[in-house]
Every structure is written in structure tokens, then in C-alpha cells.
């Protein structure tokens, strides 16, 4: 179990680093575009690049955020239940999450393959859409791995609520 969690944590950190680079890119590009607009020389395709980067930030940061319990959690009702009920609740909700993210991940990967086949590109810069869809699909699959790890921790009694 520890090796699995360590492996998932490493993958999640890597995805989170890419998300961090993407948000820094978004900030830098936006600042550059605003400054250059003052000289009537805006950066072409800023909207597309910021949209692509924003999708990467949200998708790739999710597994690490979930692993570190950095998301919003409303558990005042759940904490009033006895420990065995909380464990069942934690397992069931994570199984539902695995179902959701596996469908999302596989759908995004299939969409990426379709976008690659059709050659769909962005309007201004002619950037292909498929790498973004593929990255988000992989991030969704990674989120499934995180949820499996959390189920293992709940069962093993190592998941603190």
C-alpha cells in the first residue's frame, strides 16, 4: 500500500508542477499582453493560450489537491456518525468519484484521439486541441488512482478524517 501511495503521490506532484508552470505562463503572458497593448502590439492568441493553460491548471492540479485534502470539505454532518459509518461513507463516495473520473478520463482520451484524427485546431494560432484533451484525460485517470489510494488508506485505518 505504501509503495502505491508513494507512486501516486509522485505522479500527482509531477502533474501539479506542470499545473504550476502553466499558471506562471498564464500570468506572464497576461502581463506581457497588457503591457504590449499599451504600445498597440498585443500578443496574438493570448486568449487561446490562456484558455489552454487554464484547462491544464485545473485538471492537472486536481489529483495532488485531492491527495493532500486541499479541497473544500463539508463534513460537519459526517463527523457526527460513528467511525464504521464514516468509513463506509468515505469508501462509497470515493467509488462514486472513481466512476465519474474514469468515465470522464476515458471520454477525454477518446475525444483527444478524435480531435487528432480530424486535425481540429484553435482559431488564431492553429494549435491542436488534442494534447490538452489528452492531458486532461490522463489527469482524470490519475485522479482515479488517487481515489483508489484513499480507499486503501480508509480500509487500512490510515485515512485521517
Question: Confidence band (pLDDT; 50, 70, 90) for 161?
Answer: low
Q: Domain residue spans in the chain? A: 2-156
Rounded to two decimals, the pTM is 0.90
Q: Would you say residue 75 has pLDDT above 80?
A: no
Phi-psi region of 126 (alpha: psi -120 to 50; beta: other; left: phi over 0): left
Contact 18, 148 (CB under 8 A): no
Tens-digit pLDDT profile for residues 22-67:
999 999 999 999 999 999 999 999 999 999 999 999 999 999 999 9
Name the CA radius of gyration of the chain, rounded: 19
Q: Would you say residue 129 has pLDDT above 90?
A: yes
Q: Would you say residue 72 has pLDDT above 90?
A: no
Contact 133, 106 (CB under 8 A): no
The vertex-25 CA angle with 21 and 31, nearest 5°, equals 145
Q: Would you say residue 160 has pLDDT above 70?
A: no
* CA pair distance 120, 129, nearest whole angstrom: 6
Return the percentage of the chain with pLDDT > 70, whole number. 98
List the single range of 32-41, 98-107, 109-118, 152-161 with lowest mean pLDDT.
Answer: 152-161
Amino acid at each position: 500500500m505504501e509503495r502505491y501511495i508513494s507512486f501516486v503521490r509522485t505522479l500527482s506532484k509531477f502533474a501539479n508542477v506542470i499545473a504550476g508552470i502553466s499558471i506562471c505562463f498564464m500570468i506572464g503572458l497576461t502581463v506581457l499582453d497588457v503591457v504590449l497593448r499599451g504600445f498597440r502590439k498585443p500578443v496574438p492568441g493570448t486568449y487561446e493560450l490562456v484558455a489552454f493553460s487554464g484547462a491544464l491548471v485545473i485538471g492537472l492540479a486536481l489529483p495532488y489537491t485531492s491527495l493532500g485534502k486541499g479541497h473544500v470539505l463539508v463534513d460537519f454532518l459526517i463527523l457526527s456518525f460513528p467511525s464504521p459509518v464514516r468509513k463506509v461513507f468515505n469508501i462509497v463516495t470515493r467509488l462514486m468519484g472513481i466512476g465519474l473520473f474514469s468515465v470522464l478520463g476515458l471520454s477525454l482520451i477518446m475525444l483527444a484521439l478524435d480531435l487528432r484524427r480530424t486535425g481540429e485546431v484553435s482559431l488564431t494560432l492553429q494549435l491542436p486541441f488534442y494534447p490538452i484533451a489528452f492531458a486532461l484525460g490522463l489527469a482524470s485517470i490519475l485522479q482515479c488512482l488517487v481515489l483508489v489510494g484513499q480507499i486503501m488508506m480508509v480500509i487500512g485505518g490510515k485515512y485521517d478524517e
